[in-house]
A and B are shown apart, each in its own frame.
Chain A
Amino acid sequence: MNDIVIKRTHIYRELKIWLLALLVAEGVNIYAIIKYKTPWVELFTSIGFVMIFSLIFYLLALIFRLLYKGFARLFMSKA
């Protein structure tokens, strides 16, 4: 069994992806504030919801990336 090596670049990449998910989640929050005419203070007070959304988006992105990598390896090995 091979050792798994997590490099600094991997961590940075994952952090960047989660940061992107966080921005998308905050975007959803802004959309909801405008749509339902709720106070702008929810940018901060709904941070819990935003964090949960960002984790969901990150996990979705992770699933897609894993699927993509899995299929890519499968086809590469066949080729």
Chain B
Amino acid sequence: MGESRRDFLRKIAIAGAGAAMVANPFGQAFAAGGNKKVRIAVIGTGGRGRLLLEHLLIIIKEGGNCEISAICDNYQPSLDMAVKLCVKYKSKVNTFSDYRKLLKDNVPDGVVIATPLHQHAHITIDSMNAGIHVLVEKSMARTLDDVKAMYDVHKQTGSVLMVGHQRLFSKRYLNAMDRIHKGELGEIGQVRAYWHRNKNWRRKVPKDKPELERQINWRLYKEYSAGLLTELMSHQLQVANWALEQVPVSVTGTGSIRYWNDGREVNDNIAAIFSYADGTQFIYDSMTSNKKYGCEEQIMGHKATMELETNKLILEKPPKPKPAPGIAQLISDIKKDTFQSIPVGGASWAPETALKYNGEPIYNSQKGDGTKEELLGFVDCIRQGKNIDWVTAEGYNTSIWSLLTEQAIDTGQKLTMPEKYII
């Protein structure tokens, strides 16, 4: 049984910047939760998988009513590091190198899947068919058909399916979205986002095992990943869709391997424009050879702009500062009249430069990026046997549109969503 976005937002009571929120908004959302100890397995213990595992171990240490039933990875060094992590937190776990054996022998209540992208679909589908709930890292799958198949199996089995868009669970983002949807920014004309890095995105491959290159650096090969689109853009596309409460109607894009000509197959820079039914655009770019502008999502309305990554609300009409005392203003004017140079020529047109006003914080009490809250939410969903449908739909639509962007870039065409993928 699902729950609508409005119900969800009402339950977690995020309205108003001053609203008091406890550490876990889902703890409030599902206040009637039972006491069942939830058994979670982590499949895929690479960098992201271990981060998720550590968050779970912290939740357990803090008294969360769950346990790590097993961990699984087919790459032994990653599995070894995950075991060390469990030992650090005094947690005993079973280890597996084959997820099918884990599903059969360990039968957890839920699995957290953080494998390379091309493995998401079959592990997710097998898990849900075995009656196990799934939190799968974004994006959902490598192909459009796989994304749809995962969604269909979720609907058939009734298993919880969450996609790892952790911003959906960040109190800062929840607060911002509530204010955006209430019209605080006015009419939103455009959303812009970017993610700029200056590194090659490569992981070290053991010198004596060059055959592991594609397995370790799977993000760089088209067989396994759509690169920047599925690994970075998907996060920000989800934020744009969430802010606009719509999914795009078309996408066009471009991309190339411009700087890191090192044998990779995915683009090292991309740009895309998404159009929405009401005329709004989402303008996106990502690159890997300059990090000056970093990562940001800018929601731009006619009254204000929100910059979500850096937690800023910038009003179009900044509040006027309290005026100085009259006598101080008089001194200032006399000083200006006495010492200011008199222009005798120059530009008659001033460029429309950006406002020199840094805005105010959106929300200050969020620690972390929402990953811990996401895992708490997953555990609660399992305990309740209750899916949050709009969260699943956010993940689904974002995955579909990320993959459509890849096709738009590869074909140079403006693409719309094929009807068979509309949910």
Chain A interfacial positions (CB closer than 8 Å to B): 28-29, 31-38, 42, 45-46, 49-50, 53
Contact = CB atoms under 8 A, between A and B. Distances in A.
A38 B331 CA distance: 14
22 contacts: A28-B330, A29-B326, A31-B330, A32-B326, A32-B327, A32-B329, A33-B326, A34-B326, A35-B326, A35-B330, A36-B323, A36-B329, A36-B330, A38-B323, A38-B326, A38-B329, A42-B325, A42-B326, A42-B327, A49-B331, A50-B327, A53-B327
Contacts of B325: 32, 38, 42, 45-46, 49
Interface residues of B, number: 8
A37 B328 CA distance: 13
A50 B326 CA distance: 12
B51 to A, nearest CB: 55
Nearest to A31: B330
A50 B329 CA distance: 14
A36 B329 CA distance: 8
Nearest to A34: B326
A34 B330 CA distance: 11
A31 B385 CA distance: 74
A40 to B, nearest CB: 10
A38 B328 CA distance: 11
Interface string B312-325: 00000000000101
Which 6 residue pairs are nearest across A and B when measured between Cβ atoms?
A: A32-B326, A38-B326, A36-B326, A32-B330, A32-B327, A49-B327
Interface in B164-208: none
A50 B331 CA distance: 12
B328 to A, nearest CB: 7
A38 B325 CA distance: 7
Interface in B304-354: 323, 325-331
Contacts of A42: 325-327
Contacts of B328: 46, 49
A30 to B, nearest CB: 9
A49 B329 CA distance: 12
